[in-house]
């Protein structure tokens, strides 16, 4: 196996930074659309062979150092009883939002059987990878999943979620505790099925104040990580807002903190406890630029991180759908040729 990614996740010295990119099996690839035009998004997630096909696209076409399972962060909310759908151009919707104590009480936490398709997909993907590179599993963090369940869809201001947190904190905590239980079980299901690492995505954490992040996000991520069967499985913690929240995130004891593009990565790394690696943190918008500009920005990041153990190259968030495929390929090829 190409162990560069795992070595860096365990804070070992590597000859170059390993590279993978969030949303690397996504809409910027024509080959993704060839599949997407035949099936709904949830069909793609729930059919192990199709999920494996999509997972393998960046492995075959880009040559990245780690694959990440093709799925969605909201499948836990669906398994608990959410009526989930995806509409082109609109995104995810829950037709039965969770806004009252009764709504929360109706959610099911014994729902792993509803997620067996993910374990099945992992087994198919690992057969296809055949030990070539590691496979990353993932889940949505409780606050982010809660925000979709409460709002019923994506939100710009998270008004309903914050009203629940501030007016009825006991209801919010009951909901978060349920999501955290399911999330830990779900990640352990993925580990048992054969993933080599896991990442927790708190995509909307930047909506929270420092105190609210501690109370309504961090404590549940800490609980999830404490309940993982993580022997030999590095745990990556990501949130939009990690440039601010990294000191708190570190206390949950992840192996890697994935950092958004608003921070100097070396400053974050050196402020973290020894043994916590960093992942990131190129602004994905740079991949729209001309290739010499892309090269310049990657080199700046690599020079800044020179000599640091535990550095995985990634973006500060996911690839946008209209980024040119050739630019992504150029960036990955350049990184793979780089040597310190």
- The binding site consists of 23-27, 72, 148, 203, 317
Query: Which ranges of the chain would DSSP assign to H, the alpha helix?
Result: 4-9, 30-36, 41-46, 48-61, 75-79, 101-105, 116-129, 142-151, 159-167, 169-193, 210-213, 219-226, 242-250, 265-271, 291-304, 325-337
Residue list, annotated binding site for substrate: 23-27, 72, 148, 203, 317
Q: Are 223 and 180 in contact (CB under 8 A)?
A: yes
Lookup result for tokens 């995985």:
312
Distances (CA, A) of 321 to 17, 61, 89, 315: 25, 16, 12, 14
Phi, then psi, of 94 in degrees rounded to 5: -105, 115
CA dist 72 and 115 (Å) reads 12
Determine how many CB atoms are found less than 10 A away from the CB of residue 300: 11
Q: Enumerate the β-bridge partners of residue 311.
A: 278
For 320, which DSSP code?
A: P
CA dist 286 and 281 (Å) reads 11
């Amino acid at each position: 196996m190409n162990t560069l990614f795992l070595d860096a996740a365990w804070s070992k010295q590597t000859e170059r930074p390993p590279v993978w990119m969030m949303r690397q099996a996504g809409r910027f690839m024509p080959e993704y659309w060839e599949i997407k035009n035949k099936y709904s998004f949830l069909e793609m997630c729930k059919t192990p062979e199709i999920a494996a096909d999509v997972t393998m696209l960046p492995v075959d076409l880009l040559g990245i150092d780690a694959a990440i399972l093709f799925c969605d962060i909201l499948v836990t909310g669906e398994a608990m009883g959410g009526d989930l759908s995806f509409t082109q151009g609109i995104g995810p919707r829950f037709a039965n939002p969770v806004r009252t104590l009764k709504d929360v009480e109706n959610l099911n936490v014994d729902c792993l059987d509803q997620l067996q398709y993910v374990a099945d997909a992992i087994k198919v993907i690992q057969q296809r990878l055949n030990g070539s590179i590691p496979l990353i599993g993932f889940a949505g963090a409780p606050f982010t999943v809660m925000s979709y369940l409460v709002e019923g869809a994506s939100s710009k201001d998270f008004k309903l979620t914050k009203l629940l947190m501030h007016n009825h904190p006991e209801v919010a905590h009951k909901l978060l505790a349920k999501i955290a239980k399911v999330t830990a079980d779900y990640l352990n299901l993925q580990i048992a099925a054969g993933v080599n690492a896991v990442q927790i995505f708190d995509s909307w954490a930047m909506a929270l104040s420092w105190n609210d992040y501690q109370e309504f996000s961090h404590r549940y991520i800490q609980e999830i990580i404490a309940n993982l069967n993580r022997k030999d499985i590095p745990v990556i913690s990501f949130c939009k807002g990690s440039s601010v929240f990294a000191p708190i995130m570190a206390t949950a004891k992840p192996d890697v903190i994935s950092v958004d593009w608003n921070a100097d990565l070396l400053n974050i790394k050196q402020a973290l406890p020894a043994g916590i690696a960093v992942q990131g943190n190129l602004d994905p918008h740079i991949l729209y630029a001309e290739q010499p500009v892309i090269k310049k920005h990657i080199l700046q990041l690599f020079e800044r991180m020179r000599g640091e153990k535990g550095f995985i190259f990634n973006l500060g968030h996911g690839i946008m759908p209209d980024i040119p495929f050739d630019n992504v390929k150029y960036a990955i090829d350049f990184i793979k040729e780089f040597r310190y």
